[in-house]
Amino acid sequence: MSIRLDLPDEAATRALAVRLAAAARAGDVFGLKGPLGAGKTAFARAFVAARAALAGVDVAEVPSPTFTLVQTYDFPGDPGQSPTVFHIDLYRIESPAEAVELGLDEAFATGISLVEWPERLGDLLPRSRIEIAFAPGPDDNARIVEIEGFGEGRKRLKEAGYRDR
């Protein structure tokens, strides 16, 4: 399943994140692709805030994990209904072997993972996932996204109301 969306502003990027966050389940992996400044982190921040809202809490800050590599967000409630969200930034990773030390297996199995620069994982990237490729749009705040679901990711996109076009 492949979907192309024109997002005219950051509010549209947030709306996409909220929609996908509502459909996300434990074990879901979202690969966020695109050049620096394309909107990956803005999407991740909106996604985390939306998951927090679903759990009835507020997230004060969602920093970029560029230097920490992984930020985790635990929400109250049943872990099956409110799984941990892992925001992972692999920009500084040069090989998949370096990523092994981050313990991503647990994140991929039990949490919801937002992975910036997923291509750096190579074969470690789960086969079942949603990839979102961000590209600059015609205006400064506009983005063009290509979304593709693989395995369970296809099902999750359908649950979020997206269909092949």
Q: Give pLDDT tens digits for 6-55.
A: 999 999 999 999 999 999 999 999 999 999 888 888 999 999 999 998 88
Q: What is the pTM of this model?
A: 0.92
Given a cut of 80, is residue 74 above it in pLDDT? yes
Given a cut of 60, is residue 111 above it in pLDDT? yes
CATH 3.40.50.300 matches 2-98+105-159: yes
Digit-coded pLDDT (tens) for 120-129? 999 999 999 9
Given this model, what pLDDT does residue 131 score?
A: 97
> Residue 122, by phi and psi: left (phi above 0), alpha (psi -120 to 50) or beta?
left
Given a cut of 70, is residue 68 above it in pLDDT? yes
Residue 108 CA to residue 96 CA, distance in Å, equals 15
- Determine contact, residues 46/13, Cβ cutoff 8 Å: yes
Domain boundaries, the chain: 2-98+105-159
> Residue 92, by phi and psi: left (phi above 0), alpha (psi -120 to 50) or beta?
alpha
Report helix angle 40-54 to 10-23, nearest 10: 50
For residue 164, name the pLDDT band (cuts at 50, 70, 90).
Answer: low
HSE at residue 3, side-chain half, CA atoms within 13 A, is 21
